[in-house]
Structure 1
């Protein structure tokens, strides 16, 4: 029912766009026609940059031809103001067409004459330079442009979060975005909150934190629905159009999260709807979103063995596709040809990716690293200078206050020296108290900074440990692909699953505000999702109940516990339901009250074999669990039932 409602909504929106386009063709003139019917270069400049969608009917090439005619006429009459305005429009058109080098050359020529430009024109030149340098990955130059924007009063702060994201530092981008943008959004600004949570969710998705990203993106969608359905506030046509585009962007990112979580059926309708609506936008950012959504749609269809639908998406001839998108497209084409057993074509696309990656490593790696150093240095310098200036201001204010206070004290002392000698000791004690308080405050500030630095270092350590464990998991995956022995493959997969369980502990730690404990309900859910991704053909119909809400464990207990649970769930998925897992049930219970804890795991599968006690001495899984339970200073208990099995133990 929900799917049908979304489909009807999408069809209604497309119909509305078609009706609007037909109305524009019959009753309204295109933006280009309005531009041509407007008198004066300044007025045409306003029409060009203030239109909601200047390419509603005419393409950027049509615009470029028209602007060049006006520019030629202005040059013939030596109208310097008009020449500058038309050149700025020409610069923006080359940017929209993806010809960034031409756009940069024109913009730099114009910026050399910035003193002759009006304020609005100068800002447009800086904006297009900013966008050009971003697309050309010249982030150090982009920073310089943003600093000039701040110096000219176009912005209060230099924003770095989008540049960090472009360099792959999505977690740092998210943290800076939250710090700079969250305080500027009012609690009743539902549209602003929708954009905020959408951006945070997308940074989390890019940082491979799909479950957390999904939560943020659903918040964004909820806030956007409030904005759209709020009939008390009148909305312009432009606001409604932008809202629909934002909704499509959010749904596309939700779909991509479902793909990351292997929830392909849920992802497909969201991605299809997002692609259809974003196609109505002329924003270059949305063109990149459309490519990402289409590639993820192809990925989902390949996983669901809908090869014809997947190939249709992969055969689209995209314009301005990025290097990373090309790599992903080649990987998907190779996977597609592997699935249909056309191994020669698959090998061709694998080789293409190797050549692209080699070229990328040689040509871009050192340049981007160098720019990253420059950007971080710039940011640190900016922040340090800001702190120094602020500290100077505070010190000056403190000195002024102290000077005024000293003058008042001296005046009182001189006038009452003969009658208030008894208060001299009190004045001395007061001044000493102020000094002590100042020393205490300084020590407190040093301690707080040290604690913050310690937390940051601990988080970084946990993050690096997680990354190293993921690298081990990847190496095991590569070894699996190069191994033909079934028993060896199973052993490698089990090892990979155990490594993932430990990596997940460190991931949860660096994502927590409190680095001393892990919230086990969320960790168990994530661990089960990880195990399910290993056993793709089983375990998805099993009903899993987790009763661990509010239970927290420190890392010394959480790591052995995670490995124990990994073994139990893996065994259930592999052996407990050999015939049919539709009625399969798993119950996980974990509680810790004070110093005492209790863990129980049951399933209703086929249970343990009759010779389980004899196998326990030779089974690596049972021996591993016994050793891990011993680390928790306890003993593993196993109860056999007519259906299933029960494992339990107490721990302190």
Structure 2
């Protein structure tokens, strides 16, 4: 029974049935939604001591119980919180809460591996529920009880009891879930006929409550129809499971099971590319969840497909990958892996390596494959191997037992393939009478498998066709004239429709051409406009650069000119003996330096419109300290916010500060008296600012007359304050305080400066 001859004989129709029967495994999982534990904890903290708090504690305990993973700390948390719920239920005399707590305690014991206490707690929950007429809880307890019994009939009986109790209490979702579990129980035990009605009833109940997560039921229905060999129905439910899972955003491990089932159906339908696509998707989901059993199961399915496709080396690589990344100590899993390797090396005719795995399989399953299940698949491989190595006694023993088992299972496909290799063995030994007999049996069964159903369909279609033909012939002669007339009319209509279609097509093409021409012209115009805009932008850039350069050059020249004037005044002062004249020249020099600083900053900065007053005031005060050598007796305090003023306000502001500080240095601290000069510039709201220059000197004399206000310095400060639309105030306050309030110009607003 070498796989290659089977593939060539039937054009890949029934290749690798042995691997299919043994390895193509259905896997199922139930998705479970859980409330966020942090949300539950917050609700518990805020809840009063009432039944609602009990329910919240039970929900949190159940979260830790069903949390992914097998952490002992999670089970300890579940147990602790469940105990709190039971104590609170006793205090409140809340019977339902206490009953739920007893059942939850049984489930916690089960997860801990203490089945004895778990079973006792479950029976306690049943007794408590009956005594207190808690019908729904009694149903949940019977559903739990079904887990502990090994006998399938007893398990089914407990679940049926639970279903009736859920039905009586109106708990439809639990009723549907238990129906699904009962169907799954029969499906696992390969009894699809019993599984089918329970799964369909589960589907109806779920639909009656508009339950959206139906993918698990669809998945199980696909599985049982696969078991029954009804692949169209199996594919229908497998695709429904996939569609539903995507609709409800189910990205859990269950999605891997769904993809696996779709791949299985496509495999059995010989649609290898579709099977491969879905199995690789299932494989990736399983690997993302790092679930060894899922990865190995789907990987083994993929290996069987690769062997069917004559990609034995790729199958070997996949097995090595699973051995390295997802090792398993499960004996059944190891034997399935050995089975795959046995068939791969057998197909590759590497009898030495195949023999190693044959011995392992024979030790586990027995020489007649009568132990640990999978007899048909293992026997078929044994027969193929014994035929290949010419051990005909073992071959005939294997093939006879295989035929008996396949006949009992009603599997004519395996029987036909068995007779084919039986025929070859007979022929190689010269037993031609037996060879002819087995070949005839092969042909007969093969035709029944692959042609019987199709023949029935063809015969049915032929009968329908003949009946319809006779009915038509009765009226054929009577309608012949009408048919001819109708045909002429049809031809005429077709001719005019064709002509009309040609005309419409020509008009349509003309419209398209005209539209294309207009669009092309418009695009050309837009391109010309774009080029003009780009040229104008380039010109504007050049003009802007030239303007900035000219402004910098102007500020530079103004600064240089002011420095020249300062130098000239300095030279002039060398020829003067009059103290007042020297003082006037010195004051003028200070004022010009104040203006020069502004122009210096502007031509050195990228910002040609505004000046940073915090920098400017510090520079101006440093200059004046150097000129008057005030470090010994006058301390300057500057509280200046980072403020940007344009040139029109910065120059007057600088001159005001210059005059005020100059006066403070000269008059506020006579006879080398020590003191402090404070300069404050701050924002008082929106664009309003306040400048204060205060000293703690002698202040204004009491006989300060109006004539003194007409001095050049006072006039300058008052006039400059008017120039910036500011309000000038001056008063004695433990010294002299000068205050100017003004509004900042925002025409050339700048928020930052590169300097």
TM range, smaller chain: 0.3 to 0.5
Identify the structure with bigger relative contact order (alpha carbons < 8 Å, sequence gap 6+).
2
Report the structure number with the largest CA radius of gyration: 2
Output the TM-score relative to the length of structure 2: 0.39
Output the TM-score relative to the length of structure 1: 0.44
